[in-house]
Amino acid sequence: MIHDHIKRLARVSLRALGRLGISPRGSQEVTRAFLYAGTPSVLSTLWRVVSQTTEPLMVAFYTYLQQGLDKAEALRQAQLDVMAMYPHPRYWAAFELVGDWR
């Protein structure tokens, strides 16, 4: 079963936007566009992230959401999980949740 709060979340990847020629500053505009269009929450990155740590972070994030944590706490817990393996902030701190944190 997919929880309702998972369905109301958009994820914006700076890597994917870069392939489209959108700059990091432009990604902020894309995030705002999602919010303006009615998406309650956007999970985006502040800089290009390392693939080897993004996958476990996203898996943990969605696992925590499925367990019933709100989006902010699920992101925090996923970041703590990755931080335990990769302490440098480069690997876990790029992710930001914008909009409704519940």
Overall pTM surpassing 0.85 (yes/no): no
pLDDT digits (tens, 9 = 90+) for 9-68: 666 555 555 555 656 566 677 778 888 888 889 888 887 788 889 999 999 999 999 999
Map out the domains of the chain as residue ranges.
4-99
Q: Which of 57, 59, 65 is nearest to 85 (CA)?
A: 57
Which is it for strands 41-45 and 9-12: parallel, antiparallel or unpaired? parallel
pLDDT at 102: 83
